[in-house]
Amino acid sequence: MADSMEEWLADSNEALTLQLVRAPEDEAALLGEDMQVVAPFHPTFTYPIFGEHEKIFGYKGLDIQLHFASGSLKQYLSINYDKMLESEATPADDIEGTLYNFIPPDYTKSELAFAKLVEEDATGFRPLGEKIGSSVRAAATAKGKGKAKGKGKGKDESNGNGEALSEDDEGAVVYEMYKATWSTPGFKEYHRRMQLYILLFIEGGSYVHEDEDAWEFITLSVSIQNIPDPSDSSRFEKRKRPGSDVATYHFVGYVSVYPFWCYPDQVRLRLSQFVILPPYQQQGHGSLLYSTLFAHVIGRPEVAELTVEDPAEAFEDLRDRNDLRYLVAQGVPEDPSFLDGVGAGTRGPRAKWEAAVRKKYKIAGRQFDRLLEMLLLRQLDRKDPEKVRDYRLQVKARLYRFNYEMLSQMTLEERKEALAKTYDSVVEDYDRILKMTFH
């Protein structure tokens, strides 16, 4: 064979293109930054589907298009290539057969059928489950103004008169969160369409089992109300079409949690999966979804705490920022006991206060310790040697407890050196997070 085998390999991350598709009328209403929500994007990972090397063999000029109706997430698949290897000895990979194992079988390969489906979806689809939260922001304009940008945003905005935006204000964008379980009518079918994003955007992500009844899910959608003309628009998006009462919904992301028994008579909710689709990232949607989940947990008496399963670094930062803001909003740093016993040899009174605050806000133990240390560092007078010493002892004591098994096998000098290096690294990271959170 004249061509080398290497020439027939395609990078599956580059070959696979994803796109959220809206009805032509709804896409035409997008201006400025909002146009990115219908732009094509690529997966971060494809090794769960195409293997650890993320390669597809047997094609040149390979182009795989997987489109989703932006609300219902029903799918259209198109596989094109310039040339396919014809060889019985080394046959080309069966791309559609491979994908068939990971997506629902009701996808279409007809552009006309998909266009019709998207149009029907625009006016007929509604989010599934119980609405548990919403937030209102100003829509983006043609110049991109009005939309929240950057990490950690997600608060309601002003209507220009010093008043909080309402859902009825012109150009208001309404973001809505819906809680669903396997018993929610139609949700199993919907989940089978959205779970693909877990494989494509979460490293080590895997599908959850439908026979585990206790799973809970919160989806995020977003709506522009009373749009005066197409120059103001938004994104499960719920969006009213200009000059019409027709509202359309567009999927943004979702989170899944699973309850575990917590002695004696409560449950511990473990956050398992958390994804915001790339066209909606860096706009505060992750913070909005997380804070909605957190508020939901606080309001459930049967839940003892919210934990996170093997979080990625980016999610840890998001969690830290939102938890820090929440504790500050609750007045924890102003509590009279906040500074009592910092660095003390006997932890009794302080440990009792910490346990009470942690239980009240349902934050997992290690996470709560870190949050308190960051809040203490935030107001630490670093020019006061005694206060710096107390803070250092406070942090090192926690690090020693957490790493006891490893440290107990070291000599005294090795232990001191390891704790000193870890302390410096922890404080450096705390400063980074505090700067992001309270800039």
Catalytic machinery residues: 309
Could you give the CA distance from residue 436 to residue 323 in angstroms, rounded to a whole number?
13
3-state SS, one letter per residue, for 132-183:
EEEEEEECECCCCCCCCCCCCCCCCCECCCCCECCCCCCCEEEEEEEEEECC
3-state SS, one letter per residue, for 330-391:
CCHHHCCCCCCCCCCCCCHHHHHHHHHHHHHHCECHHHHHHHHHHHHHHCCCCCCHHHHHHH
User: Per the structure block, which two tokens stand in for 170?
Assistant: 């012109």
What single letter denotes the amino acid at residue 413?
E
Cross-strand pairs, 273: 256
Do 227 and 173 form a contact (C-beta atoms < 8 A)?
Answer: no
> Burial level of 413, CB count in 10 A (0-12/13-18/19+)?
exposed
Could you give the CA distance from residue 302 to residue 267 in angstroms, rounded to a whole number?
6
Do 222 and 177 form a contact (C-beta atoms < 8 A)?
Answer: no
Nearest partner of 396 among 367, 377, 422, judged by Cα = 422
